[in-house]
C-alpha cells in the first residue's frame, strides 16, 4: 500500500475509542535510528511548558523501574539506547541565529531507567538519523531535492544549539523517505537499508563551548585511593572522555572490545573526574560519555573503541560518541589521534572504528585547527505509528 504524501495526524475514526475511553493517549511514532529506538512526538501535542513533560515521558518509557530495570510498563527496553524520546517541531527557538536557515528543530530526551529523571544535556546521533524522516512523514517540511532523488533536511538541535544536515533517498511518487533500499549495513543492526548521511556542522564545543574543554589534549585526573589516570577530553557533537584500554585492563586480550569484563566502578570514577575537568556536572550520567580505545585488531579497522552509556557498556556505539571520535582523531596529541596519526595526512580525516558488532566509518573535515564538520552514515526504519499511553 502506498503512503500518502502527508500522513494523517490523527488515526482513523475506527480507533476513536482510544481518545474516548482510554486515559492519556498521545499520537506517537516508534522509529529505529542507527542503533537506537525511540518515540518521536510532535511538540504541538505536548504541554507548551516543557517542565510538564517529565511525568509524561517517564510513563511512556515505563520509568522508574529500580527493581527490574526492564521498563515493562512502557515502551523502553531497559537499556539507554532504548529509553529515548525526540520532540519535533517547525523552527521556533530564539537561539537560532537570524542568518541560519533550518527546516526543523528537535529536542532529544534521555529517560532514566531506574529513576524517572530526564536528561536533555546532550544530543543523540543515532536518533537524529530519523528526525528528517519523521518531519516529512508529518508534513512539517519538504526536503531539498537533488537530481539523484536524494532529499536533505536541515535540523536545529536544541540540546546543543547546532545545525545538522540529514540526507536520504526520497520517493518521487510519495515524496516520503525510502528507507528499505538495500544499500548499506551498519554494525549492530541486521540486514541492509537505505544510506542516510548525517553531517554535523561546526560541532566543536557542543556542550562546553570548546573542542578541547580542559585546554590540554591529555590530562591526569585523580580518581581516589592514590590512583591517577591519563585521559583526553574532547567535545564534538557531545563531550566524551577518552581513555586507553591499557589503563583500564592490565593485559587486554584480543577482541577485548566485546569479551572483556570491564571495571564499571573505576570507569565511572574516571568519567566523573573528566566531567569535573571539563566543567560539567558529574551527576549527569548522559554527559559526558566515556570511551575506551585501543589498537586495531585486524585490517578492516584503524583502531577499536568501546563506549559506556548511562553506566553500562553500549552494545554498539552512541552516534555522538562515534562523531566525537571523528573529531578526536584529528586532534594532535589526543589519545585517539595517537592511534591513527600515521594514517592521517590531509584535512579530510576518515577512520574505521571497530566496535561490538562490526566496523563503523566516520569522517571529520578541518580548516587548519578548526573542526568544520563531522559525518557518519546510518540507517533507519519506521516501526509503528499510532498512540502511546502515559
Q: Are residues 383 and 329 in the same domain?
A: no
**Are 258 and 184 found together in one domain?**
no
Tell whether 359 and 384 lie within a shared domain. no
User: Strand runs (DSSP E) across 136-182, as ranges?
Assistant: 144-145, 150-157, 162-169
CATH assignment at residue 79:
3.10.310.10
pLDDT tens per residue across span 67-110? 999 999 999 999 999 999 999 999 999 999 999 999 999 999 99
Q: Is residue 26 part of a domain?
A: yes
In a domain, 338, yes or no: yes
Q: Is the pLDDT of residue 368 over 50?
A: yes
307 and 173 share a domain?
no
Q: Are residues 171 and 109 in the same domain?
A: yes
pLDDT, tens digit, for every residue of 236-295? 999 999 999 999 998 888 889 988 899 999 999 999 999 999 999 999 888 899 999 999
Q: DSSP letters along 23-83, please? A: S-EEEEEEEEETTEEEEEEEGGGS-SSGGGHHHHHHHHHT---TTT-S-TTSS--SSGGGS
Element (H, E) at 257: helix 256-259
pLDDT, mean of residues 169-180: 96
Do 21 and 95 reside in the same domain of the chain? yes
Mean pLDDT computed over every residue of the chain: 93
| Whether residues 336 and 233 fall in one domain | yes
Cα dist. 243→188, 217, 267, 304, 336 in Å?
Answer: 23, 12, 9, 12, 9
How many angstroms separate the Cα of 338 from the Cα of each of 53, 302, 326, 334, 335? 43, 11, 13, 6, 5
| Residue 116 within any structural domain of the chain | yes
Mark whether 195 and 264 lie in a shared domain: no
pTM above 0.85, yes or no: yes
Structural domain range at position 97: 13-201+379-389
Q: Are 82 and 137 found together in one domain?
A: yes
Amino acid at each position: 500500500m502506498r503512503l500518502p504524501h502527508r500522513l494523517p495526524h490523527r488515526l482513523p475514526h475506527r480507533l476513536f475509542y482510544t481518545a474516548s475511553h482510554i486515559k492519556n493517549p498521545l499520537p506517537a511514532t516508534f522509529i529505529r535510528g542507527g542503533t537506537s529506538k525511540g518515540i518521536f512526538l510532535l511538540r504541538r501535542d505536548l504541554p507548551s511548558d516543557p517542565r510538564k513533560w517529565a511525568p509524561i515521558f517517564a510513563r511512556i518509557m515505563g520509568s522508574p523501574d529500580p527493581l527490574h530495570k526492564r521498563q515493562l510498563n512502557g515502551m523502553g527496553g531497559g537499556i539507554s539506547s532504548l529509553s529515548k524520546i525526540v520532540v519535533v517541531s517547525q523552527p521556533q527557538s530564539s537561539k537560532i541565529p537570524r542568518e541560519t536557515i533550518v527546516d526543523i528543530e528537535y529536542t532529544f530526551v534521555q529517560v532514566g531507567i531506574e529513576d524517572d529523571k530526564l536528561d536533555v544535556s546532550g544530543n543523540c546521533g543515532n536518533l537524529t538519523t530519523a528526525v528528517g524522516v519523521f518531519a516529512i512523514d508529518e508534513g512539517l517540511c519538504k526536503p531539498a531535492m537533488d537530481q539523484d532523488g536524494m532529499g536533505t533536511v536541515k535540523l536545529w538541535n536544541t540540546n546543543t544549539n547546532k545545525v545538522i544536515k540529514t540526507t536520504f533517498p526520497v520517493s518521487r511518487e510519495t515524496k516520503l523517505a525510502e528507507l528499505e533500499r538495500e544499500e548499506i549495513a551498519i554494525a549492530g543492526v541486521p540486514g541492509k537499508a537505505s544510506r542516510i548521511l548525517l553531517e554535523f556542522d561546526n560541532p566543536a564545543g557542543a556542550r562546553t563551548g570548546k573542542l578541547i574543554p580542559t585546554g590540554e589534549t591529555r590530562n591526569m585526573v585523580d580518581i581516589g585511593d592514590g590512583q591517577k589516570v591519563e585521559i583526553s577530553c574532547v567535545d564534538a557533537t557531545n563531550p566524551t572522555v577518552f581513555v586507553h584500554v591499557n589503563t583500564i585492563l592490565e593485559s587486554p586480550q584480543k577482541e577485548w572490545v566485546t569479551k572483556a569484563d570491564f571495571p564499571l566502578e573505576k570507569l565511572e570514577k574516571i568519567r566523573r573526574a573528566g566531567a569535573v575537568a571539563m566543567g560539567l556536572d558529574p551527576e549527569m550520567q548522559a554527559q559526558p560519555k566515556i570511551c575506551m580505545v585501543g589498537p586495531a585488531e585486524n585490517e578492516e579497522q584503524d583502531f577499536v573503541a568501546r563506549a559506556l552509556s548511562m553506566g553500562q557498556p553500549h552494545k554498539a556505539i552512541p552516534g555522538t560518541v562515534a562523531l566525537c571520535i571523528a573529531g578526536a582523531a584529528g586532534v594532535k596529541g589526543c589519545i585517539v589521534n595517537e592511534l591513527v596519526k600515521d594514517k592521517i595526512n590531509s584535512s579530510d580525516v576518515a577512520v574505521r572504528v571497530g566496535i561490538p558488532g562490526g566496523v563503523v566509518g566516520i569522517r571529520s573535515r578541518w580548516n587548519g585547527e578548526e573542526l568544520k564538520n563531522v559525518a557518519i552514515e546510518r540507517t533507519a526504519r519506521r516501526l509503528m505509528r499510532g498512540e502511546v499511553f502515559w
